[in-house]
Amino acid sequence: MDAEIIKLVNVSKVYVSAGGVQTWALRGVNLVIRRGEFISIMGPSGHGKTTLLYMIGTLEKPTSGKVFIDGYDTTVMSDEELSRLRNKKIGFVFQQYNLINRMTVEENVELPLIKLGLPRSKRKELVEESLLKVGCELSWLKKRPIQLSGGQQQRVAIARALVANPQIILCDEPTGALDSKSAEVVLDILRKLNMLGHTIIMVTHDANVASIAKKILLIRDGNIVGEKII
Amino acid sequence: MVEVLSIADIVGLAFSALRERRLRSILTILGIAIGPAAMVSIIGTTEGYTSTIVDQLQSLGQNTVVIFPAKDYRLSDYDVDRLKSLDEVDVLTPFYQSRGQFRKPDGTTMILTIYALDLNLLNKIVVGSKIVDGVVPPPTLYTYCVAGDKVVSSDNVRYYGVGDAITFIVPLMKENKLTLKTVSTRISGILAPYGSVFPVNPDESIFLPIQAGKSLLNLKDYSGIFIIVKSAELVDSLVNKIKEIYGDNVQIISLKEIAKTVSNIINILDNLFFTVSSISFAVAFTGIMSTMFTSVVERTREIGVLKALGFSSNDVLMLFLFESILMTLIGVIAGIVSGVIGAYFIAFRPLRLVGTWTVVSEPKITLWLITRALGMSLMIGVAGGLLPAWKASKMVPVEALRYE
């Protein structure tokens, strides 16, 4: 339960603009996250919290340092290997849901399973299971995302993040676009998922939202400057 | 183990993307269809005509040479003897030729061609011609003729039989004045339907013994000489000799030469049409590329999402590439089908070549033609889609996810 699942060693990220100006998004971050933790990352806009989240999600490569996910050094992995790692071990929940509007709810949630290469019947079973787990109705299956409310869309997005049963769920401002009632429903789902054993890392600038986590990391100027255990 | 997306899944995802931008996809598909449609219809029709024309010319006999007087030269028995003495010549016959107006019993009028020649050589000049009724009249019975199928019948109704008289009007020059003469002949033999060919159209002709040229048609000079050469290989040598003897005083028609020239011209046309239809492939290429580039830009965020969900750069490349391949496949199938329909539509009207020589031909849709159209289309589909697909695959996921 307390084995480390994510480990960042002296991770820095520098963006260089077209004009050659360097911007430090992360400066020598060291971080260990254990299996089953629920962590909120808080900090002002532009101070590196989303970069840190995407670094853990292997969508960003560090300029220097090492990122280990479940023991794998992601900085030396190929694009194909990283894709497989993301597909199996990491689920993403975005602020703007990022559902594909031309697809039905079922097709959206099914996407990670297509990459896993599961047969169609198995995929259908897992999609329904995942949707039910986060309180979605099966009558939504054939609906397009735009036919659903914001809160409902975010629940579908969580079902999509969950469907391949990843150990890690990364949430980027998951309640940022929701009203307080819907936000409460989403946070409740995340809490339950954590209780089921998923490691959850959530970026937010809202202290109330952050407080549902067991640990809050404060980030400023690309550094982790504080930690609060709740 | 590397998980590879199944073809069925890739096609499903590609279809869903094409369906979303239905109008744009349909327009691109139409653009793609034009190339193969043009190629199949034009080249299919041309090749159909080519093979019919060449077959007809070859059926006439590769060793037939016809000479006509040119300028003010008059062909006489002296020329006949001179040509007969040439080594290459097997047999020959001078001939008189005239045109006559003929009214059929059903009230229709037709223009027929009248030949007066050595009738014993008829089946050598019109190779494969057969008398279905009656006989070839002897040379002395110059008012008896062999009539073509369309002279004695129309729409499969036979109006005349052997022994019947047919009357027609021929033009006549008398003291530098054009007059008309009514000529009556009796049918001795009837030819089987032959089909329209060049330079003789037997179906719409009557053939008289050679003496009829002077006696019946009132012609003074020969209209030309039909020469049958000993073998097709000697045709060129004979043509050269005649050119040497007569210079510009005669016009020489060698069917072998015509077949060769027609073949050459049509080959050039074939290449020209191929080049022209290739231009529409180039247009389709730019169409596919611009559609796919627009699609990549519009779906930047989607690409970011796919990568976050575990799709690799190769998967994204395949998804976008299959979209262009799918559009191309639909376009090329639509193009080939409409090309085939178009080819039959074009070939529906007979092609009039020289005088009464018209060609009716089925288009020649060969496997090679279909393969060429399919191959070129797929090539432009892949080429047009490759760069946009590559651009999509190389998108940095974080930047793609932040794209507004």
What single-letter amino acid sits at A102? R
For residue B21, the distance in angstroms to the closest alpha carbon of chain A comes to 10
For residue A152, the distance in angstroms to the closest alpha carbon of chain B comes to 19
Put simply, whether A14 touches B (Cβ < 8 Å) is no
Q: Tokens in use for A35?
A: 């299996």
Half-sphere exposure of A205 (CA within 13 A, CB side): 12
Residue B296 has pLDDT above 90, yes or no: yes
The pLDDT of residue B205: 92
Instruction: Select the residue of A83, A98, A107 nearest B310 (Cβ to Cβ).
Output: A83
Separation of alpha carbons B158 and A178, rounded Å: 92
Count CB neighbours of B227 within 10 A: 28
The pLDDT of residue B390: 96
Query: For residue B304, which residues of chain A lie inside 8 Å, CB to CB?
Result: 98
Q: Are residues B69 and B121 in the same domain?
A: yes
Q: Are residues B268 and B396 in the same domain?
A: yes
Tell me which chain B residue has its CA closest to the CA of residue A163. Answer: B309
Q: Are residues B78 and B219 in the same domain?
A: yes
Q: Tokens in use for A195?
A: 């209780």
Half-sphere exposure of B81 (CA within 13 A, CB side): 3
Query: For residue B398, which residues of chain A lie inside 8 Å, CB to CB?
Result: 54, 59-60
Which residues of chain B approach chain A closer than 8 Å at the C-beta?
2-6, 9, 13, 16-17, 19-20, 301-302, 304-315, 397-398, 401
Instruction: Select the residue of A86, A102, A116 nearest B16 (Cβ to Cβ).
Output: A102
Strands (E), B305-350: none
* A54, A94, A99, A100: best to mutate for the B interface, most B CBs within 10 A: A100
pLDDT digits 0-9 by tens, B238-274: 999 999 999 889 999 887 777 777 778 878 888 888 8
Average pLDDT value over all residues in chain A: 93
Q: Quick one: CA torsion of B262, B265, B267, B271, rounded to 10 degrees?
A: -160
Cα Rg of chain B, angstroms:
33
Query: For residue B314, which residues of chain A lie inside 8 Å, CB to CB?
Result: 79-80
Is residue B201 domain-resident?
A: yes
Q: Can you name the residues that pair with B207 across neighbouring β-strands?
A: B115, B146
The pLDDT of residue B309: 96
Put simply, whether A107 touches B (Cβ < 8 Å) is yes
Instruction: Summarize chain A as % helix, strand, coil (round to 5).
Output: 40, 30, 35
Residue ranges making up the domain that contains B121: 64-230
Low-confidence residues of chain A: pLDDT under 70: 1-2
Query: For residue A82, which residues of chain B lie inside 8 Å, CB to CB?
Result: 312
Q: How many domains does chain B have?
A: 2
Q: Are residues B88 and B215 in the same domain?
A: yes
Q: Are residues B144 and B189 in the same domain?
A: yes
Query: For residue B311, which residues of chain A lie inside 8 Å, CB to CB?
Result: 83, 87, 111, 115
Is residue B293 domain-resident?
A: yes
ipTM score: 0.94
Q: Which residue has the higher pLDDT, A113 or B6?
A: A113
The architecture in CATH of the region A37-60+79-229 reads 3-Layer(aba) Sandwich (3.40)
Is residue B204 domain-resident?
A: yes
Query: For residue A107, which residues of chain B lie inside 8 Å, CB to CB?
Result: 16
Query: For residue A94, which residues of chain B lie inside 8 Å, CB to CB?
Result: 401
Residue B354 has pLDDT above 60, yes or no: no
Tell me which chain A residue has its CA closest to the CA of residue B311. Answer: A83
In this prediction, residues B100-107 reach a mean pLDDT of 87
User: Which positions ≥6 away from A205 have C-beta within 8 Å?
Assistant: A42, A43, A44, A45, A173
Q: Are residues B312 and B276 in the same domain?
A: yes
For residue A94, the distance in angstroms to the closest alpha carbon of chain B comes to 9
Q: Is A116 in Cβ contact with B311 (below 8 Å)?
A: no
Q: Are residues B283 and B347 in the same domain?
A: yes
Is residue B385 domain-resident?
A: yes
Separation of alpha carbons B151 and B208, rounded Å: 14
Q: Is A54 in Cβ contact with B312 (below 8 Å)?
A: no
Tell me which chain A residue has its CA closest to the CA of residue B19. Answer: A102
Average pLDDT value over all residues in chain B: 88
Q: Which residue has the tokens 């600038």?
A: A205
For residue B329, the distance in angstroms to the closest alpha carbon of chain A comes to 23
Put simply, whether A16 touches B (Cβ < 8 Å) is no
Q: Are residues B188 and B216 in the same domain?
A: yes
Put simply, whether A140 touches B (Cβ < 8 Å) is no
Q: Are residues B148 and B274 in the same domain?
A: no
Cβ contact A125:A62 at 8 Å:
no
Is residue B255 domain-resident?
A: no
Q: Are residues B98 and B192 in the same domain?
A: yes
pLDDT digits 0-9 by tens, B47-67: 888 888 777 776 667 788 999
In this prediction, residues B322-341 reach a mean pLDDT of 95
Q: Where are the domains of chain A?
A: 37-60+79-229
Tell me which chain A residue has its CA closest to the CA of residue B9. Answer: A114
The pLDDT of residue B1: 47
Separation of alpha carbons A65 and A54, rounded Å: 15
Q: Are residues B150 and B168 in the same domain?
A: yes
The pLDDT of residue B108: 85
Residue B149 has pLDDT above 60, yes or no: yes
Separation of alpha carbons B160 and B185, rounded Å: 12
Residue B355 has pLDDT above 60, yes or no: no
In this prediction, residues B190-204 reach a mean pLDDT of 78
Q: Is B302 in Cβ contact with A54 (below 8 Å)?
A: no
Size of interface A-B (CB pairs under 8 A): 73
Query: For residue A60, which residues of chain B lie inside 8 Å, CB to CB?
Result: 398
Q: Are residues B88 and B196 in the same domain?
A: yes
Give DSSP secondary structure letters for B103-120.
E-TTS-EEEEEEEEE-GG
The pLDDT of residue B3: 57
For residue A84, the distance in angstroms to the closest alpha carbon of chain B comes to 6
Put simply, whether A106 touches B (Cβ < 8 Å) is no
Put simply, whether A57 touches B (Cβ < 8 Å) is yes
